[in-house]
């Protein structure tokens, strides 16, 4: 069977799609690059917030246009796991619904599936991390995600992920290291560690948080050049983790810490463990150990009960802390979460105005941070050729598809995955320009 997979959402979803493709290919199926060529179109959805749900639903209907009489349309991922019954009733165009725990069963499900019928296969999560020995990578996997855990034990009041992905399950260190070695052998230069909470790694398997020890092992793998940390909870960023980050050259001086807010009152309502003092202290510890570190965060405006004073405190934090990488979401009222039932829901227009105010302030902060790089030579990972001797790349301070890019010229032929030194000659709000040196 020829199969096309359309993926939406976060890097964890894209990792799932690569695993699903590997499982299907091992079973004898063929992956194709377009829905027109496929016998089976699979949409891997996101169901985290309203905007993501809307995008997923629209994409499902887009893919349904290619269906015809001979094609099978399947929906998997978080949206399917969360709304299995509603989607089955409201989307007769879809033949097959699967959840986030059913990728390993795909070959058996497809073997028994009969065209003309509709089915749903949604399993509960496994109690341990389930290894998948197959993963389909692109032709030049110079950057790759590495999932170190699944699920989440944090019970943030606004979040549906634990109900979709289940409880936290760490992956065995030896399995993580084995996959990292495989990726390095295939040409991976940048390894991006992902989980719902990377800093919680090991809590269920090793009776403690052992991310620092895992990082030491990954840094010994030949061929890997950058190791990047995503989705780190502030209260679990220990002195030991900071020391490892500072000492190991392969670990990018970059960390993603979704802070969500700075007001102690709002953080308590969100059921976050962090406090304003703790957040400021962690940022200070990171910057003291690594003066050049770039910290990425995400914030939420309009959480229920957020007052003008709470928002002003958040805005002041953005201005004074000057984090180089920052994004803002408006609070999404998700059914089934404690926050959805809270009083003092904030008006949608107020949420949007607060989001816009923060992003306008961040624009100046980002530009100033970029201007400080003018005249410096930075290592850049090549991602694409733009033509006429121009290339697009990223520094170690930037995660793919999320952060800044570097547009630069070179007098020699480069290919994606090359690492080059680039002198920065100009800076913009969210990008840099330069030339290879």
List the Cα angle 372/375/377 in 5-degree steps. Answer: 100
Question: Per the annotation, does 46 bind a ligand?
Answer: yes
69's CB contacts (< 8 A; 6+ apart) are none
Residue from 343, 323, 329 nearest 301 by CA: 329
Question: Per the annotation, does 232 bind a ligand?
Answer: no
- CB-count exposure of residue 109 (10 Å: 0-12, 13-18, 19+): middle
125's CB contacts (< 8 A; 6+ apart) are 100, 101, 150, 151, 165, 166, 167, 169
Q: Both ends of the chain: CA-CA distance in Å?
A: 49
Question: Per the annotation, does 219 bind a ligand?
Answer: no
Residue from 47, 51, 46, 50 nearest 6 by CA: 46
Beta bridge partners of 73: 41
The CA–CA distances, whole Å, from 149 to 43, 73, 347 equal: 23, 29, 36
Question: Per the annotation, does 159 bind a ligand?
Answer: yes
The CA–CA distances, whole Å, from 358 to 159, 258, 301, 332 equal: 22, 15, 9, 17
Query: Hey, CA dihedral for 226, 249, 152, 133, is it positive or negative?
Result: positive
Beta-carbon neighbour count of residue 249 at 10 Å?
A: 11
**Exposure on the CB side of residue 289, measured as CA atoms within 13 A:** 19
Strand order of the sheet with strand 226-229?
A: 143-147, 190-194, 226-229, 251-256, 294-301, 325-330
Question: Per the annotation, does 252 bind a ligand?
Answer: no
Q: Where is the binding site for [4Fe-4S] cluster, in residues? A: 10, 46, 78, 152, 156, 159
Q: Where is the binding site, in residues? A: 10, 46, 78, 152, 156, 159
């Amino acid at each position: 069977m020829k199969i096309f997979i359309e993926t939406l959402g976060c890097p964890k979803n894209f990792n799932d799609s690569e695993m699903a493709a590997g499982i299907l290919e091992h079973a004898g199926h063929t992956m194709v690059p377009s829905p027109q060529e496929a016998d089976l179109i699979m949409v891997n959805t996101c169901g985290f917030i309203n905007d993501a749900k809307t995008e997923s639903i629209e994409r499902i209907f887009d893919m349904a246009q290619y269906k015809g009489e001979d094609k099978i349309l399947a929906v998997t991922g978080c949206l399917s796991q969360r709304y299995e019954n509603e989607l089955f009733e409201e989307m007769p165009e879809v033949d097959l619904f699967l959840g986030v725990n059913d990728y390993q069963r795909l070959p058996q499900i497809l073997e028994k599936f009969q065209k003309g019928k509709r089915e749903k296969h949604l399993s509960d999560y496994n109690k341990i991390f389930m290894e998948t020995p197959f993963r389909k990578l692109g032709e030049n996997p110079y950057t790759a995600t590495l999932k170190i855990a699944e699920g989440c034990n944090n019970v943030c009041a606004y979040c549906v992920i634990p109900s979709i992905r289940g409880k936290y399950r760490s992956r065995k260190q030896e399995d993580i290291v084995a996959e990292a070695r495989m990726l390095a052998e295939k040409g991976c230069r940048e390894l991006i560690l992902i989980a719902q909470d990377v800093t919680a790694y090991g809590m269920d398997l090793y009776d403690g948080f052992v991310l620092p020890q895992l990082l030491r092992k990954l840094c010994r793998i030949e061929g890997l050049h950058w190791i990047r940390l995503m989705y780190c909870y502030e209260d679990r960023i220990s002195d030991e983790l900071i020391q490892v980050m500072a000492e190991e050259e392969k670990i990018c001086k970059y960390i993603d810490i979704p802070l969500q807010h700075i007001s102690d009152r709002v953080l308590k309502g969100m059921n976050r463990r962090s406090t304003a003092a703790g957040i400021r202290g962690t940022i200070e510890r990171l910057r003291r150990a690594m003066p050049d570190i770039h910290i990425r965060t995400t914030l939420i405006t309009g959480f229920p009960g957020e007052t003008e004073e709470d928002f002003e405190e958040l805005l002041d934090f953005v201005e004074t802390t000057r984090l180089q990488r920052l994004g803002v979401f408006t609070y999404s009222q998700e059914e089934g979460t404690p926050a959805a039932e809270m009083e003092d829901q904030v008006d949608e227009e107020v949420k949007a105005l607060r989001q816009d105010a923060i992003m306008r302030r961040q624009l100046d902060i980002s530009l100033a941070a970029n201007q400080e790089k003018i005249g410096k030579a930075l290592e850049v990972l090549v991602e694409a050729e733009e033509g006429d001797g121009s290339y697009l790349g990223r520094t170690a301070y930037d995660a793919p598809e999320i952060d800044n890019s570097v547009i630069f010229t070179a007098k020699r032929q480069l290919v994606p995955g090359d690492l080059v030194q680039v002198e920065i000659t100009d800076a913009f709000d969210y990008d840099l320009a330069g030339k290879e040196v």
